[in-house]
């Protein structure tokens, strides 16, 4: 009998561990929360009844997880930029016009390639040997997936090139055939399927077990050479790479002008479905390398390239149900549950229906056929429903009156389309507002993702904002709860602690007051300087501030009139959260004000110190060096930005030179 119980417990553990891995590591949930929770409950019950089988590594002893720390981080030598998008030929024309203008009529041409729907990778060779494969990550720091990269047959492991450092970039992808094969196997095993080849490729490359990766037959198209010193055009660089053994996409083509580019786009669009791999657009690059520095980069994109995205696909499917969800402000969004349909490479089961007036005005009914598309290729949305013969017999939809989370009665403010849950204790609202508070533009608490918040909320470690700052009292309990143990708890607590000294305007934004976006939060912080001045301000004080106005003023007044909110502020005060505006009005300095700065390398103080200092004097700070850069502040081990600054003759400053420059002006 107990043997049977032990077997059952092991089965449940295995299931839950796998689901956790799917969720936290592969970023691909394989069951819904309900199934996860009920399986977890079953295991908890059995372990309580038979404690002899309860082990410290049981999923009941851990909460959540973190993708961090799984792969070693690698700082890219050269930032991995992304691409700006063009959605139609007008956007392409505008791109071409800008280039023409920047190049002042110098002759240029384009190189056109399919935009492979996979994930970008940087391959590093030293003295002809492959030494590293790194994912893009945030463009600055990626994940070291070298072991997995070594399993990809089409990546050369040695090359006939003796450069000490040689870097190539490309897109790792899964062919449609391999993708179908993997999913067929998953289906056989009763596992959740991958949504599209890109997710499958990404999930595979970020697998810890290289043996699994090997079986998955990932492939690569290489599309960029970083060591291009002796090469003049992109076309030549691809030829050079091809000769070294790298796979170059055969549909890549040199085009003399933007009209030829359009023709090639038309051709690729036509053959798109017949390709063995998914493409989501076309990449257009200026062919001549001599122009790359002139054209420069923004902080995210090179200005010498653009991605033409194919128009969004529209599909029809059956609307199975309409369900509301509640956001942090209490606003209700209606969502469609759909008969799964393949759309732009993924399997779509749900889409937004916006608000109840949208559904009412379009007379969308449950059971009808709806048209859906992906907005900006990310969130699917319902466009309309088809009024066919079956449609008439379907019941007209009516909006919900109760909050889907707390069942409180919903309200609609005068003149507004949306319904709101105004219950301050609504659990979903609290979870969403905690998420907002921790988000990057607010208190920037890394590691406090929505999933972690949900777990901490369910376990009652965080039920309101100020509890975040009390997590440190439960460190041991959290370590027991957290799948990744001490290290991730320590990291979380560190970022919680760090956030205490965050800028005051970020705190105001994080409070989630209606109508207070990032910019308004800054204006309020700057004008009132500290929290007490805001609390004590009357409606007139608030509304007379430029850019604030009566709606925002009322919203602030209303928020601070609620007792719980005042209690929150008092709690945060006693927890030493910064509530003072630290910025000052810009100090005019002819050497610094409005000048363009780039900061690079390791400095004696954190980079933010120098950013704040320069901001005080009204400098513009950007991430990448271009001909518009006035100064580069360079610390130790500065890499590509310093090199580029030298190439472009941009003035390079050390910390002391910067100090001198500031003082020189201030003393005048
Ligand atoms: S060039 C600085 N070429 O698209 C040059 N990217 O949306 C950057 N991609 O991050 C990339 N096919 O992952 C380039 N032929 C191609 C590409 C390509 C796919 C991906 C790449 C990039 C993303 C930008």
Contact 600, 634 (CB under 8 A): yes
More confident residue, 282 or 613: 282
In the block, tokens 């920047």 appear at 102
CB distance 115 to ligand 1 below 6 Å:
yes
Phi, psi angle pair for 409, to nearest 5°: -70, 135
- Residue 115 Cα to ligand 1 midpoint, Å, equals 6
Residue 459 clears pLDDT 70, i.e. is over it: yes
76, 79, 82, 83, best to mutate for ligand 1 pocket (most atoms within 8 Å of CB): 83
CB distance 505 to ligand 1 below 6 Å:
no
pLDDT tens readout for residues 405-426: 999 999 998 888 899 999 989 9
CB distance 304 to ligand 1 below 6 Å:
no
State the Cα–Cα distance between residues 301 and 502, nearest whole angstrom. 29
| pTM for this prediction | 0.53
State the Cα–Cα distance between residues 291 and 439, nearest whole angstrom. 38
CB distance 262 to ligand 1 below 6 Å:
no
- Joined together, the tokens standing for residue 26 give 């592969």
CB distance 171 to ligand 1 below 6 Å:
yes
**Of all protein residues, whose CA lies closest to atom 17 belonging to ligand 1?**
115
pLDDT tens readout for residues 306-327: 999 887 778 999 999 999 999 9
CB distance 277 to ligand 1 below 6 Å:
no
Residue 63 clears pLDDT 50, i.e. is over it: no
pLDDT tens readout for residues 520-530: 898 899 889 99
Give the number of the atom of ligand 1 that is nearest the alpha carbon of residue 280.
19
pLDDT tens readout for residues 377-406: 567 899 999 999 889 999 999 999 999 999
**Of all protein residues, whose CA lies closest to atom 21 belonging to ligand 1?**
120
pLDDT (0 to 100) of residue 160: 96
CB distance 280 to ligand 1 below 6 Å:
no
Give the number of the atom of ligand 1 that is nearest the alpha carbon of residue 117.
19
Q: Which domains does the chain have, with CATH numbers?
A: 2-53 (1.10.287.610), 73-309 (3.30.470.30), 314-412 (2.40.50.140), 427-574 (1.10.150.20), 596-666 (3.40.50.10190)
Segment among 201-205, 236-240, 427-431, 613-617 with least mean pLDDT: 613-617
- Residue 258 Cα to ligand 1 midpoint, Å, equals 19
- Residue 120 Cα to ligand 1 midpoint, Å, equals 7
More confident residue, 37 or 450: 450
- Residue 350 Cα to ligand 1 midpoint, Å, equals 29
306, β-bridge pairs: 284
CB distance 302 to ligand 1 below 6 Å:
yes
Contact 140, 69 (CB under 8 A): no
pLDDT (0 to 100) of residue 51: 80
- Residue 122 Cα to ligand 1 midpoint, Å, equals 11
**Of all protein residues, whose CA lies closest to atom 23 belonging to ligand 1?**
82
Give the number of the atom of ligand 1 that is nearest the alpha carbon of residue 114.
15
Active site residues: 115
Work out whether the CA dihedral 330, 333, 334, 335 comes out positive or negative: negative
Mention every residue, 6+ apart, whose C-beta is less than 8 A from residue 218. 151, 152, 172, 173, 174, 178, 201, 204, 205
CB distance 113 to ligand 1 below 6 Å:
yes
- Residue 78 Cα to ligand 1 midpoint, Å, equals 15
Residue 68 clears pLDDT 50, i.e. is over it: no
Chain-wide mean pLDDT for the chain? 88
How many CB atoms neighbour CB 391 within 10 A? Answer: 15
Give the number of the atom of ligand 1 that is nearest the alpha carbon of residue 119.
13
Mention every residue, 6+ apart, whose C-beta is less than 8 A from residue 380. 343, 348, 350, 351, 352, 372, 373, 374
- Residue 283 Cα to ligand 1 midpoint, Å, equals 7
**Of all protein residues, whose CA lies closest to atom 18 belonging to ligand 1?**
115
Nearest to 437 by CA among 457, 423, 409, 417: 457
- Residue 281 Cα to ligand 1 midpoint, Å, equals 10
**Of all protein residues, whose CA lies closest to atom 9 belonging to ligand 1?**
115
CB distance 82 to ligand 1 below 6 Å:
yes
**Of all protein residues, whose CA lies closest to atom 11 belonging to ligand 1?**
82
């Amino acid at each position: 009998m107990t043997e049977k119980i032990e077997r059952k417990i092991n089965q449940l553990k295995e299931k839950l561990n796998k689901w956790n891995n799917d969720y936290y590591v592969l970023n691909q949930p394989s069951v819904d929360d309900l199934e996860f929770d009920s399986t977890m409950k079953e295991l908890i019950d059995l372990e309580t009844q038979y404690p002899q089988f309860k082990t410290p590594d049981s999923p009941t002893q851990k909460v959540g997880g973190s993708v961090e720390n799984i792969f070693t981080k690698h700082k890219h030598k050269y930032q991995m930029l992304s691409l700006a998008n063009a959605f139609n030929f007008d956007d392409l024309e505008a791109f071409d016009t800008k280039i023409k203008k920047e190049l002042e009529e110098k002759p240029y041409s384009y190189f056109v390639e399919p935009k492979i729907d996979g994930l970008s990778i940087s391959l590093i060779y030293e003295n002809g040997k492959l030494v590293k494969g790194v994912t893009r990550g945030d463009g600055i720091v990626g994940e070291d997936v070298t072991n997995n990269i070594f399993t990809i047959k089409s990546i050369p492991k040695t090359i006939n090139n003796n450069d000490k450092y040689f870097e190539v970039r490309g897109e790792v992808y899964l062919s449609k055939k391999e993708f179908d094969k993997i999913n067929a196997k998953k289906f056989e095993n009763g596992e959740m399927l991958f949504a599209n080849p890109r997710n499958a490729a990404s999930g595979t490359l970020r697998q810890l077990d290289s043996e699994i990766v090997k079986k998955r037959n990932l492939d690569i198209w290489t599309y960029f050479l970083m060591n291009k010193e002796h090469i003049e055009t992109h076309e030549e660089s691809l030829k050079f790479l091809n000769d070294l053994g790298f796979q170059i996409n055969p549909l890549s083509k040199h085009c003399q002008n933007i009209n030829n580019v359009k023709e090639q786009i038309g051709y690729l669009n036509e053959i798109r479905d017949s390709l063995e791999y998914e493409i989501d657009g076309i990449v257009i690059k200026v062919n001549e390398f001599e122009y790359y520095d002139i054209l420069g980069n923004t902080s995210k994109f090179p200005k010498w390239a653009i991605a033409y995205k194919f128009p969004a696909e529209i599909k029809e499917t059956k609307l199975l149900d309409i369900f509301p969800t509640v956001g942090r402000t209490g606003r209700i969004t209606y969502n469609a549950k759909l008969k799964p349909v393949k759309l732009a490479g993924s399997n779509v089961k749900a889409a937004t229906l916006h608000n109840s007036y949208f559904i009412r005005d379009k007379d969308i009914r449950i059971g009808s056929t709806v048209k859906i598309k992906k907005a900006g290729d990310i969130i699917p949305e319902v466009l309309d429903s088809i009024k066919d013969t079956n449609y008439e017999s379907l019941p007209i939809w009516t909006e919900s009156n109760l909050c889907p989370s707390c069942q409180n009665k919903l309200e609609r403010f005068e003149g507004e389309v949306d319904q709101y849950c105004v219950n301050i204790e609504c659990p979903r609202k609290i979870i969403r507002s905690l998420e907002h508070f921790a988000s990057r533009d607010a208190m920037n608490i890394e590691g406090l993702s929505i999933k972690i918040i949900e777990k901490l909320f369910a376990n009652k470690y965080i039920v309101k904002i100020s509890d975040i700052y009390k997590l440190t009292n439960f460190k041991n309990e959290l370590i027991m709860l957290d799948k990744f143990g001490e290290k991730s708890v320590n990291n979380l607590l560190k970022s919680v602690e760090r956030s205490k000294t965050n800028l005051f305007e970020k705190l105001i934004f994080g409070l989630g007051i209606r109508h207070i976006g990032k910019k308004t939060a800054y204006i309020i912080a700057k004008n009132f300087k500290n929290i007490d001045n805001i609390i004590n301000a009357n409606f007139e004080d608030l509304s007379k501030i430029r850019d604030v106005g009566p709606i925002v003023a009322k919203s602030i007044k209303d928020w601070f009139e609620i007792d719980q909110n005042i209690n929150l502020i008092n709690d945060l005060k006693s927890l030493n959260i910064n509530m003072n505006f630290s910025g000052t009005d810009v100090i005019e300095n002819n050497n610094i004000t409005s000048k363009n700065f780039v900061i690079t390398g390791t400095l004696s103080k954190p980079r933010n110190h120098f950013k704040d200092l320069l901001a005080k004097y009204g400098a513009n700070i950007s991430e990448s060096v271009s001909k518009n850069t006035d100064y580069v502040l360079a610390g130790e081990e500065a890499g590509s930005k310093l090199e580029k600054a030298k190439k472009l003759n941009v003035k390079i400053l050390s910390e002391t030179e910067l100090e001198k420059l500031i003082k020189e002006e201030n003393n005048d």
